[in-house]
Structure 1
């Protein structure tokens, strides 16, 4: 799964990497640690506005939801069951890129999880990338529109199986050349495991230690 990310690049770097406008990022602040359960607003690019970077909330709120409490359960969406889950099945084509430069995962060091080791997962040189995501709009009781998203997850690759060694899941990190394919609505099943890109895992308990490149 994926519940902690980081986005530490300046908005100008985001604009250059994704060839997109950042005029809607007036309140954007780089963050070393984004916790999903705080429902932060982070940079995304949607299929409806592919040349614009916007800030959406983490935790998808379906348009039919009576309140926003459901967002605690829609932080991630399993790619294998997208078409089955009520929260996701009607918005599969609402595609977005969720921009980041890293995410965190904890490796269980014993059977009950009382000992864990924290890892930072990045691309080489900690460059910007995007998670595959879906999004929606929800109108609250003040008639304000809330834009929100869910990160798509899949079966862990070899590296992430070693780190996320309990549930063995990972977010889908799109290859740069496939970002537009995702936005343009290509079959989502084409992006599940073994779809992967190069990742580096760095232990934050022992900053000299790294797990391999896959």
Structure 2
């Protein structure tokens, strides 16, 4: 699974990379280490507005029927193999987004219980700025009527490199090739087309 990323690109670099505008510079998140469990607002691009980079969505999806905000700690990731079956995701598979990053982090376990671990940073071999496949939704707090916009990161079985690095879970996020970003945003393209053995061009470094 993937819970830790990096997004250290400047606003101008993102605008050039995606040929898009940014909705709010004041809430733009730029960090070398981002913890998904803090539910950050990593910039994303929605298929409903592909020419806009938005900062109004937070990591950890809240389906419309969720009873409280704590539910999102369970939905940082969505397994692509069961995405059409899980109640949290099956009704929003047409709500696709690109989650912007410059790296992500996983740990290699050196023993069965993970008492000794090596941290790896994974980057794209092709682009300093890349994207993960995501789904998004909006949720209304039943107590305050506040609307929260959220997203989840879609994961698949690990490829050869990630089987070694993430040897405990054997999972990896779907790290999109640049030429596949438009296809992911196109809801007419089947989600299963991005499942394993989908191979992003990635490289990992022990840090």
Q: Partner residue of 2:128?
A: 127
Q: Any gaps of 5 or more consecutive residues in structure 1?
A: 205-214
**TM-score normalised to structure 1 length:** 0.92
Aligned residue-pair number? 204
More off after superposition, 63-72 vs 80-89: 63-72
| Cα distance in 2 for residues equivalent to 1:179 and 1:20 | 14
Q: Would you say the 8 A contact 1:108–1:165 is kept in 2?
A: yes
CA contact (8 A) 2:126 2:201 kept: no
Contact 1:132 1:151 in 2 (8 A): yes
Cα separation, 2, equivalents of 1:156 and 1:73 = 20
TM-score normalised by length of structure 2: 0.96
Q: Provide the rounded CA distance (Å) in 2 between the counterparts of 1:198 and 1:127.
A: 12
Q: Distance in 2 between matches of 1:197 and 1:126?
A: 11
In 2: Cα distance, 1:81 partner to 1:29 partner:
30
Question: Aligned Cα RMSD in Å?
Answer: 1.1
1:82-129 CA-to-partner distances (Å, cap 9, x unmatched) read 011000000011000000010000000112210000000001376100
Deviation string 1:9-31 (CA, Å, 9 cap, x unpaired) is 11111111111111323221311
Which residue number in structure 1 is paired with residue 182 of structure 2? 180
For 2:42, what is the secondary structure of its paired residue? strand
Preserved CA contact (<8 Å) 1:4 1:36? yes
DSSP 3-state at the match of 1:69: helix
Deviating beyond 4 angstroms after TM superposition, the runs of 4 or more aligned structure 1 residues are none
Question: Aligned partners of 1:111, 1:60: CA distance in 2, in Å?
Answer: 31
CA–CA distance in structure 2, aligned partners of residues 158 and 178 of structure 1 = 20
| Alpha-carbon separation, structure 2, partners of 1:155 and 1:29 | 29
1:135-168 Cα offsets, whole Å, 9 max, x none, are 0001123322211000000000000000000110
